[in-house]
Amino acid sequence: MDHDKDDTPRSFTSAELGFLAHVYRGELYRSTLWRTRLDTTTNWSVVTLGIALSISFSSPQASPIPLLLVGVLIVLFLMLEARRYRYFNVWRARARWMEKHIVAPMLADGNLHLERGWQQTLAHDYRQPSYHVSVRVAVGRRIRRNYLWILLIQTIAYLGKLLVHPAPLRSFGQLLDRAAIGPIPGWLVLLLGAVYCLCWGGFALWSRTTDRQRARLRGDSSGMG
């Protein structure tokens, strides 16, 4: 019988189960390795933001511009982390798929046939490996998990710098003067900053809505992708 074309559940031999156990361990190892790489890029973002904070708040006369420039690096790290997340998600999804269709049914009643076609889904993913999520989805998830808070701290620190240094703020006009960068007027800098924050916040909300829709379509939140 051709099991690649037939989705009828079948039993595995002890040798096949042993092989699947090694496959699961391999996928779990790869997902753990790439999860560590995600933490690395997040740490880079936190460290660079910390350096910018130290420079800008080192003295009342220090410029707040480093807090703006660090945003470029944070976005760069975000894009790099989103790319790594797409790899991580492949290994995570495979490991979770095996947990759902092998480990959980085996612990429950010794039956590996939770639903039809699960073997074919995994086999197809091995034959034609591909990303399970798009770049937009990956970016949105990383913003929600980590970078929204990093960007929030950056924004609060920048506004705090303008409010207290070199002296406590006394008027809105003074705020615009402090926010100005060379020939760029302060109102434009603040406007671009507001757009910057709203765009990332909107991206996070869009990502949350999209993930919920994907989970409803799958019927659960633990499938591939």
Q: Looking at 107-111, 173-177, 185-189, which range is the least confident one?
A: 107-111
Name the nearest CA neighbour of 122 among 158, 152, 91, 98: 98
Query: Is 182 domain-assigned?
Result: yes
Domain that holds residue 195: 14-218
In a domain, 82, yes or no: yes
Whether 2 is in a domain gets the answer: no
Element (H, E) at 217: helix 186-218
What are 144-160's pLDDT values in tens digits? 999 999 999 999 999 99
Q: Is residue 1 part of a domain?
A: no
In a domain, 5, yes or no: no
The reported pLDDT for the residue numbered 3 is: 46
Q: pLDDT-based confidence at 66, cuts 50/70/90?
A: very high
Which residues have C-beta within 8 Å of that of residue 200, sequence separation ≥ 6?
143, 147, 148, 151
Instruction: Quickly state the pLDDT bin for 26 (edges 50, 70, 90).
Output: very high
- Residue 180 CA to residue 222 CA, distance in Å, equals 48
Question: Model confidence over 112-143: pLDDT tens digits?
Answer: 655 667 788 888 889 998 998 889 999 999 99
Q: Give the integer Cα–Cα distance in Å for 206 and 28.
A: 29
Contact 149, 219 (CB under 8 A): no
To the nearest 10 degrees (0 to 180), the angle between helices 118-127 and 65-98 is 130
pLDDT for 52 beyond 70: yes
For residue 6, pLDDT over 70 is answered with: no
83/77 Cα distance (integer angstroms): 10
Q: What percent of the chain has a predicted confidence (pLDDT) above 90?
A: 51
In 3D, which of 119, 92, 93 has the Cα closest to residue 16? Answer: 119
DSSP single-letter state for residue 144 = I
**Alpha-carbon span 118 to 195, nearest angstrom:** 44
Strand partners, 181: 184
16 against 128, higher pLDDT: 128
**136 located within any domain:** yes
For residue 69, tell me if it sits in a domain. Answer: yes
- pLDDT band with cut points at 50, 70 and 90 for residue 111: low
Q: What is the largest CA-CA distance in the chain?
A: 82
Is residue 205 a part of any domain in this protein?
A: yes
In the chain, how many domains are there? Answer: 1
